[in-house]
Copies of this chain bind each other. A is one copy, B any other.
């Protein structure tokens, strides 16, 4: 029995609120239940130094949590003077995931910076962030298309969405909330494309090691969940 009463293969209620931000070229407030992440996409003329004169652009991401997004207040990273290892790990993952479906040559020598800021956290912030960031990125590219800078279909090759799965109380379940996440024996994050290709797998045994069979069940759950998420993305931008 899941704390939320959800079935093992049932995700939380997911929603996308596009154009949440007045200023950003693309933006989306994504909610996976009580996990709320604001994703903005900012078009910048500067390209990273190693890409100058290469004809290629770049997509990068930064991640942050408001100090009281969580049950206990966490120290503000700006005041601590550095980003934690966890923060850096997540923002590297988001950037890599998005670049997997972007044609950097078709983007041209520009950088799109995706900021994913967790307004409220209840588990699964990185998977919600990736899923919402895709919408913000899409809308930024649409903004560019309107100004004849690029063609969206040339730059954005596929959808990207992500979900966590884990073994909670011996049961494989999808889309863990905080209560499940902190008690799970195994925790895995999956990032896949709209056409079913795998982009990232990160599986960690929190308690005892897991078997290949268990892992394949989690992968199966994730595949169905990501299909749902991609369908919702399509509806959102439709």
Task: List residues of chain A with CB under 8 Å of any chain B CB.
Answer: 21-24, 27, 34, 38, 40, 42, 44, 62, 64, 66-71, 73, 76-83, 85-89, 91-92, 96, 100, 113, 115, 117, 119-120, 122, 188, 192-193, 195-205, 208-212, 215, 219
Q: Are B212 and A204 touching (Cβ within 8 A)?
A: no
How far apart are A99's CB and chain B's nearest CB, in angstroms?
Answer: 10
For A68, the chain B residues whose CB sits under 8 A away are 21, 23-24, 27, 40, 42, 115
Contact of A200 among B40, B100, B113, B205 (CB under 8 A): B205
**A67 and B34 contact, CB distance less than 8 A:** no
Indicate if the CB atoms of B69 and A23 lie closer than 8 Å. Answer: yes
| CA distance in complex: A40, B215 (Å) | 32
* A82 interface neighbour in B64, B81, B188, Cβ under 8 Å: B81
CB <8 Å contact, B192 and A198: no
Q: Which residues of B contact A82 (CB under 8 A)?
A: 78, 81-82
Whether A100 contacts B64 in the complex (CB less than 8 A), given A78-B82, A89-B89, A201-B203, comes out as: no
CB-defined contacts of A66 to chain B, threshold 8 Å: 38, 40, 64, 115, 117
B209 and A100 contacting across the interface, CB-CB below 8 Å: yes
Query: Are B202 and A202 touching (Cβ within 8 A)?
Result: yes
